[in-house]
Structure 1
Amino acid sequence: MHARHNAASTALLAAALFGVTTPLAKTLLGSVSPFMVAGLFYLGSGVGLAIAIIVRRLLQSAGERKNESRIKKEELPWLLGAIVAGGVAGPALLMVGLGTTAAATSSLLLNLEGVFTAVLAWVVFRENVDVQIFLGMVAIVAGGGLLSWQAGNGGVAPGALLVVAACAAWAIDNNLTRKVSTNDAMVIACLKGLVAGSVNLVIALLLGAHLPAFGTTLTAMLTGFAGYGVSLVLFVVALRNLGTARTGAYFSVAPIFGVMLSLFIWPEMPSLNFWIAAALMAVGIWLHIRERHQHTHTHEPLAHNHPHKHDEHHQHTHDFEWDGVEPHTHPHQHTAITHSHAHFPDIHHRHSH
């Protein structure tokens, strides 16, 4: 239970950091182009994490550096796909959509990312999703649909559709990132930030945009470091421990933090549709969070490398001198085991049902 709470807290903190980024981005869009904002956000996350990685390596021992998990050649297509979908397409669609959509509405629409993530994990990647998770998704989709509908013109707002498209892009990103989640989360997030930031920045410059003033640039990059960089590191760690659908479910609380900040920055009473949509989404999030999954299952033999403690899934010896500090990282082998306990489809529980 303690491990579950830690994993959930990691996902919720990631959600909070990402959620408050949306209204902050809205404040920049009046003077900075959408692609420039996206570029500075991701570049800030990449540069900030690169500095953090360098500092960490300077503080590590030779043994710790030797045992670090490294991205394998066969995993590179998954990582590249995640960068294109979540680092290039997602933020660009969001920034353009934010230009014509209220920040509070956009923040709630971002709940759909968790739904799309869960659906892809369920349908495409065969991750288990039970009835409770499905009902939660239905509630969130209903709330998102209500938010997107404009009573004034009898249709779905184009800006809202772009925010929804951004959610779909990030859902693809989340599921592809799961494929590389056993690797160093900081390196994954850093690579995504540097590549996605550079691409969006080049697009912005080609479209005629100019770098904003130093203060605005620094603010955007620092916001990106926290909301896209640190948040993504925490999200990858949660993916490792919770699986894609559950992490997406916890991440669905991100818009709540965005809405709270939006209403603080732009104090006005939202419409009735907004509150009904918020209630539907709250019910969906509650159904996601209270889900419990337990049954007898078998672990097949598995070899991989990730930070771990010597719990019931990690009973192995070492072929090197170990100082007893946990968690620690090194390549290790899992033997077959059959048991029953509450679990999620994490990196050790990706089995069929």
Structure 2
Amino acid sequence: MRPAHICLAVLVAAVWGVNFTVIEVGLDHFPPLLFSALRFLVAALPAVFFVGRPKVAWKWIVSVGLVLGVAKFGLLFIGMDAGMPAGLSSLVLQIQAVFTALIAFAALGERPTRVRLAGMAVALCGVGLAALDEGASGPLGAFALVVAAAACWGLSNVLTRKASPPDSLNFMVWVSTVPVLPLLGLSLLTEGPSRDLDALRALDPQGAAVIVYVAWITTVFGFGAWGRLLHRYPASTVAPFSLLVPVFGMSSAALLLGEPVGPLRWGAAALLVAGVALTSFAAPARVHLADVPAQERAREPA
């Protein structure tokens, strides 16, 4: 990867890491599914009127919208609302890199090299060490929901790679239109109209700031940039950068929420960074040319 793209991937990881702390704050203001619906509503409007018409087939917009918006974020918000701490959630969610690599191998023929596999193994050791440090602080059901969210994120990474949108911002804004109504419907059914209305009536500046951050910074910028990277590089190259998210997630949770970060946790962070470095500077993954869009095969690196 080019140095500028490595920096962009790290910046996205930082934005997503801090996002877990912001979500924790937001869940004090909104029920989880309503919160997620508002996130995508604000991400889509008014941007959808300025980004132009969709530049990929609607099947990709709808599929990524449902998998990423409804499934991944719905499960994550419910899991955190059920008791998963922000720092632990930022950690557990990063097993999406494993799901991404497995799905990319099955669907796209992307075969990671040995060095890249070793880097992922080192990073996942860091995840395991941090999980050991955290202990069983979250309920088992909430833990399982976040694991399921990680699997959905991995699938959405590969769907985005397959869609290969030429304009990542355009793609993410249109994807954000898809989850709004399904999430609102699920919220009304499971969380109840009265709870939703009470949350909306009690909206204050802090709640509004939370929505702006998770909508415009995390969703539009974060996933727009992430999609651009996935369009340019194999999913198994981009995905390991998400392993940096717990470094920023645990740090922000410690600073802003008072969650403890001990020596084991910092050791885990060191392993995560080392694993990502190995993965980043390894030789490119082998990809079946038939599975790569023609325009991407013809494009020379800029």
Deviations along 1:268-293, one digit per CA (max 9) or x if unpaired, are: 53356544543443332232223233
Q: TM-score, normalised by structure 2?
A: 0.82
Partner of 1:50: 48
Q: C-alpha distance in 1, partners of 2:292/2:138?
A: 53
Partner of 2:255: 264
Q: TM-score, normalised by structure 1?
A: 0.71
Partner of 1:331: none
Unmatched runs of 5 consecutive residues or more in structure 1: 58-67, 307-311, 315-342, 349-353
RMSD over aligned CA atoms reads 3.3
Partner of 1:181: 164
Q: C-alpha distance in 1, partners of 2:118/2:4?
A: 25
Q: C-alpha distance in 1, partners of 2:108/2:275?
A: 22
Offset at residue 217 of structure 1 (A): 5.1
Task: Flag the 1:300–1:156 CA change in 2: closer, same or farther, 3 A.
Answer: closer
Offset at residue 156 of structure 1 (A): 7.9
**Which residue among 28, 31, 35 is the counterpart of 2:29?**
31
Q: C-alpha distance in 1, partners of 2:228/2:294?
A: 19
Q: Where does 1:249-260 land on structure 2 (aligned, <5 Å)?
A: 249-260=240-251
Q: C-alpha distance in 2, partners of 1:301/1:246?
A: 15
Instruction: Tell me which moved more, 265-274 or 178-187.
Output: 265-274
Partner of 1:241: 232
Of structures 1 and 2, the one with the larger relative CO (CA 8 A, separation 6+) is 2
Q: Which has the higher helix share?
A: 2
Partner of 2:74: 92
Offset at residue 265 of structure 1 (A): 0.7
Partner of 1:63: none
Task: Say if 2:92 is the partner of 1:134.
Answer: no
Deviations along 1:104-156, one digit per CA (max 9) or x if unpaired, are: 11112232122321222123321131112212222333444455569977998
Deviations along 1:204-255, one digit per CA (max 9) or x if unpaired, are: 1333131433435532331122111111110111111122111112232222
- Percent identical: 24
Task: Say if 2:208 is the partner of 1:218.
Answer: yes
**Which residue among 209, 212, 218 is the counterpart of 1:227?**
218
Unmatched runs of 5 consecutive residues or more in structure 2: none
Task: Flag the 1:302–1:160 CA change in 2: closer, same or farther, 3 A.
Answer: closer
Q: Which has the higher strand share?
A: 1
**Which residue among 52, 56, 66 is the counterpart of 1:71?**
56
